[in-house]
Chain A
């Protein structure tokens, strides 16, 4: 089973939100890629837990730039590649009902505009024009970024996988990585429960399992999965254009967000407060009452919309809420693309291209800054403002 040393240039651990589009970008750049995943098929880890929102409206230049590229890939996928990934350009709306959120959002707007994002402040009546069903009581206004949108994580993962295979990437599912093959401080390959594979470059894109993979190389990666729940409703005729995000914290939750998918279904999730740490995917009784209470308060019209299915999956979190991307210093040949903090789906395609450049050593100068900002060895001093 073991591949010979020359058969593979790069082994990617994880065929999820990051690993799959990275495999595509690398394979299309001419690299010989092998992707290993413990799950039986593509995107079955945390990728399928994503609700599908894709925005460039972040608070920092690295994620803004990566997601701008992702947006381009998602939004043009169908015309360039043919398959429908249910891309829907509905925009993102952040609502402000209190001065505190208004202030935070307005401050972010400065950075966001500085990076050329198409985003603006809407006053109360503009907000209500856009989403007439918003609870008008004490609504101040909010931001709206029309170029953001959504796509199906499930269809996207399959589309990336298919395209990557077409470009020559190999995928092995249902294989658990047991260890890294090391030689004189360099990684030489990967040992799984089924065999050994050799390559000079190994990418850790293991999502919620990233720290575990890091330990195999003796690294202590500050990536901790925390569990979030999401849900989808029955489909109804289109009535809600943007993703609506409410960042007001409460006793039991932080932010929550929802949008109407191109199928007509509302997909939503909430960030629990405090975080629930661990690779936990078992459903809780508290999720639906908590999120429904907030959603129905924000948009009373949602009260009659029926919830169809719930699920739970993990956000691989880092101390400051930003991903860890870059070469490991301790082990030569080990590239980290971990800690996506719940944004792997939207970061994935853009990040995949960056990673291909990193491996090929063709990183454009303008992207070097990104790598610096996301360096795994940065000081975790700041805190992401728009998690």
Chain B
């Protein structure tokens, strides 16, 4: 296998080594059976998939999620989304270079009528919300059809190597996202009343209340549901800056997909734009996969993601530049560096503060938009529809699990099933799980200098409670029904003090609990630190830098033990001996050296004015801005003139950027007229709609995509 595979990962097990050979640009390459074309190409170090027909600009991936269409390649002569299409043995892959030639065919097609089925409930999206809802139908033997466009269930849960925040009781907090996906899927698969179609994409909700579905990626089926549940998740927002479509500049979710789902070392060195949870976690995932992170910029004065995520990332040695913005991604045919600058209080870059970092990948993690078009259309057409998870409101996956479950019960009740009372607390919990981080309390370090006890470096209110559930002596509490309040460690009966069992250290999703043990050596207590990197990467006798909560370097200490036991589920516990002067302040270990985070000697400027607003049609910001300045307020008119939004993706990524340009030009939101949304959700061949029987006709690209 090539150098771009992740062969060892602290949390994930690399998939089977079964390989298939495909041809890329005439050269045989080895791919993993069952992986996407995009991952197969990245695993070869290929980042340029195509050249845009408008200006021959190199094209890489952006979303790796089937939402945009930037990753097109020709597979046996036909354009496909590389991020969605799985490799087939012997397949000939080529970049799309200019307009592709429509392959000639011989003979005439054998067309069959389009299948139409009725279902009581159709669920679009098998992520946390969809799975949780489907389970409620399954439990009660109610028929439902769950469709998902990917080749496996779980949605974005399958990208999450970290333990989940949220409520231990309600949504498996403390368990890793990937494992929650498996749990939910395994449970769902025991219920025969729920049918599951994978690689099946909803294409449109029609006014006659039918939902067009591309089943198994090849057959068109019209589904007529009595109730539609939209749990289609979210898509990543794009950002406008020079070089924003260079191969190597792409979404954080795309990165997590390549790295955590497909175990491809997608980047050599990373820079992250956006300090929300997605960006922070992506940084963590990169480090876990052994990919250095040069830094992270956040435009706001403080990261909007959980403080524990941010603190953790900083402790690992990733600088976080708040009140900074990205000026450009630089490079000729792909990203070679990134340039950032500080922002003044009017959000303008401050001249003289520019810094560049060498990196081959810039992750855009500035937020998510709900995939809500099916829900909106259903509403317009009077089809009974519900939404849950990110499709309803962007929040954590734990919130999606819960809102999916509630929505499932609500639908069952609306269908006349007795589901009992849906408790008011459930709705309260759902709201709590969705909540943004709350206030931060200054950290207090406990006084004690004897015995053993945990130090909770958890000082910001977030919905999370696993530490309170695992203490065998019940010494960690949240003094409220509201799990957003801070946990505290308290011993009332000295006979029932902390035993140093390490359970709280292991389960904390924020890696924010360490254990300080004075019992063996009161001057040099042993500090137990959670560590989710390869256990081979740290050894007894190593000297490591330890840091306090907010990443101030406390000094170098020696590793005295490395504990990796099955019960701790891949969380390694590293024990260091540290002087009592700072032992209780230790929150983590630095794992990344300074050299990867150093700015370049001189900052790089991008001369090309390629701020792309519409990726599909390569419409530049300047073109749209000029129209806005000319008085254009109707986005349909902007589209008519520039083609922004006419591309393959259906204005999924450019709409928000156009709104942003309006904002920058001082146009109030109420003056902007949005364009109507039209099907299809993604491009599907005429043959598919015609009911072409796969294989009924010969052509160069006959692999069933009709």
Q: Which of A's residues lie within 8 Å of B, judged by CB?
A: 39-44, 48, 133, 135, 137, 154-155, 157-158, 173, 233-239, 264, 282-286, 288-289, 291-293, 295-297, 300-311
Contacts and interface: CB of A to CB of B under 8 A. Distances in A.
A78 to B, nearest CB: 15
B686 A307 contact: yes
B66 interface: no
A300 B641 CA distance: 33
Interface string B86-109: 000000000000111111110111
A297 B633 contact: no
Contacts of B107: 300
A307 B680 contact: yes
Given A282-B380, A284-B208, A308-B648, A301 B636 contact: no
B690 A293 contact: yes
B99 A236 contact: yes
A301 B105 contact: yes
B687 A296 contact: yes
A306 B685 CA distance: 4
A283 B222 CA distance: 14
B111 A293 contact: yes
A307 B684 contact: yes
B470 to A, nearest CB: 52
Interface in B183-225: 204, 206-208, 210, 212, 220, 222
A283 B679 contact: yes
B691 interface: yes
Contact of A285 (B108, B222, B697, B701): B222
Contact of B690 (A135, A237, A289, A310): A289
A40 B633 CA distance: 8
A288 B679 CA distance: 11
A41 B111 contact: no
Given A305-B686, A307-B683, A40 B99 contact: no
Contacts of A310: 204, 678-680
B501 interface: no
Given A237-B100, A239-B101, A284 B690 contact: no
Contacts of B111: 293, 296-297
Given A40-B637, A158-B641, A234-B648, A307 B689 contact: yes
Contacts of A304: 78, 102-103, 105, 685-687, 699, 701, 705-706
Given A234-B683, A303-B697, A289 B114 contact: yes
A69 B697 CA distance: 44
Nearest to A173: B634
Given A237-B98, A302-B686, A42 B637 contact: yes
Contacts of A289: 114, 220, 689-691
A17 to B, nearest CB: 14
A236 B220 contact: no
Contact of B206 (A42, A173, A284, A303): A284
B643 to A, nearest CB: 8
Nearest to A43: B640
Main secondary structure of the interface of B (DSSP, over half): loop
Given A285-B206, A303-B690, A304-B102, A309 B53 contact: no
16 contacts: A154-B640, A264-B99, A285-B208, A285-B212, A286-B208, A288-B212, A292-B688, A297-B109, A297-B690, A300-B108, A301-B102, A303-B685, A304-B701, A308-B647, A310-B204, A310-B678
B54 to A, nearest CB: 10
B85 to A, nearest CB: 13
A65 B172 CA distance: 74
B370 interface: no
Contacts of A291: 689
B79 interface: yes
Contacts of B380: 282
B673 interface: yes
Nearest to B640: A154
Given A297-B108, A303-B692, A40 B680 contact: no
B691 A311 contact: no
Contacts of A282: 206-207, 380-381
A303 B637 contact: no
A109 B541 CA distance: 95
A204 to B, nearest CB: 23
| Closest 3 pairs between A and B when the two form their complex, measured CB to CB | A303-B687, A292-B689, A154-B640
B648, B688, B690, B699, most chain A CB atoms within 10 A: B690
B242 interface: no
A293 B100 CA distance: 23
Contacts of B603: none
Interface in B594-612: none
Given A303-B697, A304-B699, A304-B706, A236 B683 contact: no
Contacts of A137: 108
A41, A264, A285, A300, most chain B CB atoms within 10 A: A285
A263 to B, nearest CB: 8
Given A40-B637, A41-B634, A306 B683 contact: yes
A237 B673 contact: no
Nearest to A42: B637
Contacts of A233: 683, 686
Given A304-B706, A306-B684, A310-B679, A288 B689 contact: yes
Contacts of B274: none
Contacts of B632: 41
A309 B680 contact: yes
A284, A293, A303, A305, most chain B CB atoms within 10 A: A303
Nearest to B116: A285
A145 to B, nearest CB: 25
Given A44-B636, A289-B220, A296-B690, A303 B105 contact: yes
A41 B646 CA distance: 17
Contact of B210 (A285, A296, A300, A306): A285
Contacts of B509: none
A133 B104 contact: yes
A39 B675 CA distance: 12
B138 interface: no
A293 B693 CA distance: 12
Nearest to B78: A304
B640 A157 contact: yes
B650 interface: yes
Contacts of B101: 236-237, 239
Nearest to B72: A234
A39 B673 CA distance: 10
B206 A296 contact: no
Given A282-B207, A285-B212, A300-B697, A307 B637 contact: no
Nearest to A289: B114
B692 A296 contact: yes
A383 to B, nearest CB: 30
B79, B640, B647, B692, most chain A CB atoms within 10 A: B640
A48 B220 CA distance: 28
